[in-house]
């Protein structure tokens, strides 16, 4: 029996943000990724990555820490518990699509018999 799988997380659904979240979720809990390493992983420009990180930070999905390593500025990023839960829901949504078990829930003004396939 197929269960209803909620809609995709529109914040995470964008491919670069999904890559960011997946990279951060792969780290052991307290670890952080440096901006330069994350940039290489997701293959984004500095500005593009910064924009996506800002979107994820506003959503509460990541935390950004800025400090110095000696005299050199350093930006590090980690996933928050809220972000980890959102990623888990979103990947569940994607798995359900791939497994063919996702069903759409009818909208309040749409009878169940007219729900999209």
**Residue 16 φ/ψ, nearest 5 degrees:** -65, -40
pTM of the model: 0.80
What is the model's pLDDT at position 7? 85
**Which residues are bridge partners to 34 per DSSP?**
76
Note the CATH architecture for domain 31-97: Orthogonal Bundle (1.10)
Return d(Cα 104, Cα 82) in angstroms, integer: 25
pLDDT digits (tens), the chain, 117 positions: 344 567 899 999 999 999 999 999 999 988 999 999 999 999 999 999 999 999 999 999 999 999 998 999 999 999 999 999 999 999 999 998 888 876 655 545 544 444 444
Write down the H helix ranges in the chain.
10-13, 15-25, 35-42, 46-58, 81-99
> Domain residue spans in the chain?
31-97
**Helix boundaries (H) for 26-78:** 35-42, 46-58
């Amino acid at each position: 029996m197929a269960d209803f799988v909620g809609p995709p997380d529109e914040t995470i659904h964008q491919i670069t943000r999904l890559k960011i979240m997946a990279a951060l979720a792969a780290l052991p809990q307290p670890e952080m990724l440096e901006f330069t390493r994350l940039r290489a992983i997701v293959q984004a420009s500095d500005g593009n990555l910064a924009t996506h990180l800002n979107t994820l930070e506003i959503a509460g999905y990541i935390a950004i820490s800025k400090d110095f390593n000696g005299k050199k500025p350093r930006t590090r990023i980690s996933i928050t518990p809220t972000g980890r839960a959102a990623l888990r829901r979103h990947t569940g949504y994607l798995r359900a699509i791939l497994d063919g078990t996702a069903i759409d829930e009818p909208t309040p003004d749409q009878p169940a018999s007219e729900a999209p396939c």
